Amino acid sequence: MSAGVSISSMSTYAILGCGSVGHAVAEELTDEGKDVLILDKDESRVEALRDQDLNAQTTNIADPELADAVVGRDVILILSSDVEANKAAVSTIRDRDEDQFIVVRASDPVSEDELTKLGADVVINPSEVIADSALRSVESGELEYKARQLADILRDTDHGMAILTHDNPDPDSLASAVALQAIAREYDVEADILYSGDMGHQENRAFVNILGIELTPRSDSKPLQEYGAVALVDHMKSGMPDLGDADITVFIDHFEPDDGIDARFTDVRPNVSSTSTILTKYIQEFDLSPSQAVATALLYGIRAETLDFKRDTTPADLTAAAYLYPFADHDTLEKVESPSMSPETLDVLAEAIQNRDVQGSHLVSNAGFIRDRDALTQAAQHLLNLEGITTTAVFGIADDTIYLAARSKDIRMNIGKILSDAFTGIGEAGGHSTQGSVEIPLGIFTGIESNDDNRDTLLQLTEEAVKRKLFRAMGVEGSESGNGS
């Protein structure tokens, strides 16, 4: 096909074989004002097409002279149900003209391959098209059904809704909560976004502050039992929260729970890469126009969870992002993605660089005693930019707990599983293929209680044990150097 030519710029078409499929395509193109020539060997069919004011001619598409009949046409659509005739047509046209864009109908995967080898640009298998259409219809119908369920719950909700993010909420969890809050307000339900833990990561704090997201620590909120509904969004990465005697009303996530979830409404979709994607689909299904803040939050949630569309991105994530893009504030996104680095984070990063231990392409580092555990995450991400490094793990001690953050861009490794293998039984490990975290009670891990007199001993014991377990789980034994030099 000629360089610089796109389908949208093409204006002349030839349809070869005009059964029900060809007829439908011909009518659609003609309605769009395109110049369409129809070729079919059935004289009575050609006459009927002419009666409809369509440009049709009687021609056997397997005829070697076919190329002369379609010369000068930009796009050739070969839609006959006779696959052998279609093969002959592709071969004849391609021998005559290398530039015409050929779309052809196949009957099965074997004929798909054969037609591609003959020079077709696009090969259509009707059975696959029907299957894809059926699946899209099922997905659309399921979303419509789920939306009705959620709407019924919101209509029945008195005394407001509590929307719980996971502990130390990340952009995907925060954005999902903001979107659900916006949907709830459409049904006159006031919703509070609650969280536990800390908001340590600079990007997450910037995200909340710049977008004006109102968050309430659970310790400052009324008891969950006093809300008319309790919703959990994006929780499975960090585990289920302690709800006391409260029941779960709404549960939405893109990770499958280990055990079943007892909730009035559940939507779990492991076939997408962010909970923000799921909430975007509900925004669309409810026919809401998202505010700039909601759209910006959701777009950032999708981008953060997929590493800017470089990790496990699905078509649903991309279409959700494309929908949100015109509504979002891109200046705000840039501010969120480039926050200033706190002195604490800089100190942790410097310590991690100084203490790095590199084994092949794997880097493990002890950041010592820390005040902000989210600084470990940022240090692990920054160290991943070092030349030759594909996996990083940075750990430190705070509040009698060992915290570890890991990142990986090695497609052969699932860092979440590595951490689980290394620390199951002595701590809480979680994550997925490219990122993970661990929390280990210090006393259980070292057998020593923390105090000012044994800080150096604790650091040494922790460093030796963590490195040994991690490198062993990674399939690396021993230590080549203390600082990667």
CB neighbours (10 Å) of residue 2? Answer: 9
Q: Is the CB of residue 270 less than 8 Å from the CB of residue 252?
A: no
Q: Kindly state the percentage of the chain with pLDDT values over 90.
A: 44
- Do 179 and 265 reside in the same domain of the chain? yes
Q: Is residue 3 part of a domain?
A: no
- Residue 265 in 3-state DSSP? strand
Task: Give residue 479's pLDDT.
Answer: 46
| Count: domains in the chain | 3
Q: CA angle, corner 196, sides to 194 and 202, nearest 5?
A: 95
Q: Report the C-alpha gap between 170 and 305 in whole angstroms.
A: 9
Mean pLDDT of the region 235-250: 80
* pLDDT above 50 for 278: yes
Q: Look at residues 286, 305, 337 and tell me which one is the last residue of a structural domain.
A: 337
C-alpha span between 310 and 333 (Å, rounded): 18
Residues of the chain with pLDDT > 70: what percent?
91
**Residues 379, 282 share a domain:** no
Q: Which residues pair with 105 in a beta bridge?
A: 124
CA dist 85 and 82 (Å) reads 5
Task: Report the C-alpha gap between 434 and 443 in whole angstroms.
Answer: 29
Average pLDDT of the chain is 86
Do residue 320 and residue 416 come from a single domain? no
Would residue 17 count as lying in a domain? yes
Euclidean distance between CA atoms 391 and 408, whole angstroms? 4
Q: Are residues 145 and 198 in the same domain?
A: yes
Q: Are residues 325 and 347 in the same domain?
A: no
Whether 485 has a pLDDT exceeding 50, the answer reads no
Say what the pTM is.
0.61
pLDDT of residue 300: 93
For the cut 70, the answer to whether the pLDDT of residue 339 exceeds it is no
Q: Is the pLDDT of residue 447 over 60?
A: no
* Residue 25 belongs to domain with CATH number: 3.40.50.720
Q: Is residue 462 part of a domain?
A: yes
Helix, strand counts (H, E) of the chain: 17, 18
In a domain, 485, yes or no: no
Identify the pLDDT of residue 88. 93
When pLDDT is averaged across residues 285-304 and rounded to a whole number, the result is 94
Residue where a domain stops, chosen among 316, 337, 358:
337
Domain membership flag for residue 480: no
Q: Is residue 293 part of a domain?
A: yes
Q: Which of 266, 334, 265 is nearest to 296 (CA)?
A: 334
Kindly give the pairing relationship between strand 362-369 and strand 357-359. antiparallel
Residue-range definition of the domain harbouring residue 381: 343-473
What is the domain-level CATH number for residue 416?
3.10.310.30
Least-confidence region, from 33-42, 179-188, 361-370, 425-434: 425-434
Q: Look at residues 93, 124, 155 and tell me which one is the last residue of a structural domain.
A: 124
Mean pLDDT of all residues in 327-342: 80
Domain match, 355 and 283 both:
no
Position 3 scores a pLDDT of 39
In a shared domain, residues 168 and 313: yes
Report residue 481's pLDDT band, with 50, 70 and 90 as the boundaries: very low
